[in-house]
Amino acid sequence: MPLFGTDGVRGLANGPLTADLALTLAQATAVVLGQGRTAEARRAAGRRLTAVVARDPRISGHFLSAAVEAGLASSGVDVLDAGTIPTPAAAFLVADVDADFGVMISASHNPAADNGIKIFARGGVKLPDVVEQRIEAAMDGPKLQPTGAGVGRIRRFADAEDRYVVHLLKSLPHRLDGLHVVLDCANGAASGVSPDVFTDAGAKVTVIGNDPDGLNINDGVGSTHLDVLQATVVAVGADVGIAHDGDADRCLAVDASGAVVDGDQIMAILALAMKARGQLVDDTLVATVMSNLGLRRAMSAAGVKMVQTAVGDRYVLEAMNDGGYSLGGEQSGHVIMSRYATTGDGVLTGLHLVAEMARQRKSLAELASVMTVYPQVLVNVPDVDRSRVDSDTEVQDAVAAATASLGDSGRVLLRPSGTEPLVRVMVEAETVSVASEVAERLADVVRERLAL
């Protein structure tokens, strides 16, 4: 199996993801990303290759970041150790200090036992597949082994967090004065940043999930466990709740009543605000096939076009880069604002969402009402041949019939798993009962026709 997945290298820390693997991967990264005209021009000008390295708070991040830094320094790369900061902060810093690349040690919303290694190219952008393949191939090849003064230096990036906070505050279109915000930091990388920046922006802040001990990241808190945030917002009478995940590249929200406002609703609010300010490039929003039908309808009514991609923030980013678009994201809360970030940034997203509440003097519920969320039912059908979804005539006839029966009031999507013998049947409709009925009927057809 390929080493790189959809978002870097990820696995059980000290299981498949060992210190040896991290060191070798870092050495291979130095070989591949240390090539090219830019790198050669730097060396010719007497400048050394530099990389930013950061991590989230999980305990395995200590030995994995140490291994990565050792691999880079042994390859002649100077390392700026940014410590514990969000993934989008690491990406920002790579561009801000004009580093050659960056490495983030994090497994995002996964439990504490897992970890991952994500590599950013020059400018803080994610690597294309072809470069990841070159790095993986280079792990078995010769490494750079300078000696004496040629080895890299490792030094603390002392103002890493301050640079990121200043960047976030400079991006704000409006201060947050007068609003009470509950922040759920998922006991993760946002714990040291998000409370400070929301406070500096003028909000009254109540914080939960901001006591990381290396083992409690994402444990019952954060964007994948919203019940504690919902209860806290209601209990303290706050205006809004913002939830991050472990590495703070996601943002979900809760309104004053405790109702969840997901990534689709957040994108709808931001898209309309950016369109009004003339900042929504080509009046276009980029979203995945899993985004709710209500988002598409709301954007159409507002004169906003939508570009649809496969599931995954990397595909959203590719489409945004290809079209030069300024806003995109996923229902899960990965929201990318390309004017300020090269990747999903949960703190940035939360700030701009609350800023719209302050600017328009409206509650989050009022802002979110711009779109109607259609009930969405997802049925996983296991033990089937996912490769025949598009070629089986009876399956496709059933999809066509279901689509016709729903008309403009619903949507059908069959999505084969990329890793398992599984097909996901998703149906949206005006009521849960209709969506469930159609989804189960399609699942039966898939189960019968594609059984292994």
Q: Is 108 a catalytic residue?
A: yes
Q: Which of 361, 353, 2, 386 is nearest to 198 (CA)?
A: 353
Enumerate residues 6+ apart whose C-beta is below 8 A from 27. Answer: 71, 72, 74, 75, 139, 143, 144
**In angstroms, what CA-CA distances link 64 with 10, 18, 54, 61, 117?**
12, 7, 10, 5, 9
Q: How far apart are the C-alpha atoms of 170 and 339, rounded to whole Å?
A: 12
Q: Is 249 annotated as a binding residue?
A: yes
3-class DSSP state of 310? coil
Residue in 74, 106, 108, 191 annotated catalytic: 108
Q: Is 247 annotated as a binding residue?
A: yes
428: alpha, beta or left? (left if phi > 0; alpha if psi -120 to 50): beta
Enumerate residues 6+ apart whose C-beta is below 8 A from 212. Answer: 57, 84, 187, 188, 191
Q: Terminus-to-terminus CA distance in the chain, angstroms? A: 22
Q: How far apart are the C-alpha atoms of 348 and 361, rounded to whole Å?
A: 20
Q: How far apart are the C-alpha atoms of 95 and 116, rounded to whole Å?
A: 21
Degrees, nearest 5: CA angle 47-48-53:
135
Which runs of consecutive H residues, i.e. helices, occur in 172-312?
A: 194-200, 227-236, 263-276, 293-301
Given a contact cutoff of 8 angstroms between Cβ atoms, the answer to whether 335 and 243 are in contact is no
Return the structure tokens found at 40: 């050669």
Enumerate residues 6+ apart whose C-beta is below 8 A from 408. Answer: none
Return the structure tokens found at 268: 């709808």
DSSP conformation class of 5: B
Annotated binding site: 108, 245, 247, 249
Annotated binding site for Mg(2+): 108, 245, 247, 249
Catalytic residues, which ones? Answer: 108
